[in-house]
Amino acid sequence: MKLFKRSTRGAEITENGRPFIEQARRIITDVDNLRTTARNVSYGLQGRIAVGYCSPLMAGHLRLAISDYLMRFEDVQFDGVEAGLEKLFHGLQSHAVDVAVAPIGHREEGISSRYIWSERLFAVLPTGHTLAEREQIYWQDLRREIFVVPSGGLGPIFGNVIAARLTEQGKRPNIIVQDTSLESVLSMVAAKRYISIATEASQGVSWTELRFQEIHDPTGPARLEYALYWRRDNDNPALKRFFKLIDERYPG
């Protein structure tokens, strides 16, 4: 079969050659897809684990734990699932998520939990704010502020914490919820109209126009406590390795 014909303009595909060339292109694409599949299979040679979380991975305990797992178990396919609490727990129930890292206090039928660590809470202030250079700030120092929090991730938790600490005599604090990421919310704070709160994990990035001031309770630094959540009937071997790592780093 003659696939090409030559002319002064170069080589051109013949009419008979067109279906042949199209089929050849599909074969090459299929071969490339097979290579990708082979890489994925070898990558997950020792299983797969899906870890859900709603807190930032810029720094902190969660980032260290995930990095440690990735380095120690190179043959396990690791899938991170960043989502709000409702989606994380739906993922646990449907087996789409093996284990979730979330603030303590959530209970669902068939879901086990274990305390793992806590992180300090910070007021996120624009530079030049009257509290930005204060040696220590307490919740009551923030009672006249306007807070902005994201609608997803830890945003609802932050909103509940602010309301619990600053609601007095039926007067609730002023909290604005934005349907954006935590990073976008912190960028809004730099405009000097609002303040926000964040955990120490958010300080993994340099925010030149912001100040992170640790918030204090009467008994010491304010903290947000976290737990692992998983289905009791989940027998994934990769999950057991994750628990082993957590037990080594953060013994209960």
How much is the pLDDT for 25?
A: 79
Q: What is the distance between the alpha carbons of residues 88 and 50, in angstroms, rounded to a whole number? A: 11
How much is the pLDDT for 91?
A: 92
* Centroid of chain to Cα 133: 30
How much is the pLDDT for 13?
A: 83
How much is the pLDDT for 47?
A: 83
User: How many Cβ atoms are within 10 Å of 194's Cβ, its own excluded?
Assistant: 21
Q: Which two tokens stand for residue 150?
A: 């994201």
pLDDT digits (tens, 9 = 90+) for 199-251: 987 776 677 889 999 999 989 999 999 999 999 999 999 999 999 999 988 87
Residue 11 · residue 4 · CB < 8 Å: yes
Residue spans of the chain under pLDDT 70: 30, 32-46, 57-59, 204-205, 252
How much is the pLDDT for 39?
A: 56
How much is the pLDDT for 188?
A: 86
How much is the pLDDT for 35?
A: 67
How much is the pLDDT for 205?
A: 64
pTM of the predicted protein model: 0.74
How much is the pLDDT for 249?
A: 84
At 177 the three-state DSSP class reads strand
CATH architecture of 118-223: 3-Layer(aba) Sandwich (3.40)
C-alpha closest to that of 126 among 185, 47, 44? 185
How much is the pLDDT for 33?
A: 60
How much is the pLDDT for 46?
A: 64
How much is the pLDDT for 57?
A: 67
Q: Which two tokens stand for residue 51?
A: 């870890």
Is CATH 3.40.190.10 the classification given to domain 48-117+225-249? Answer: yes
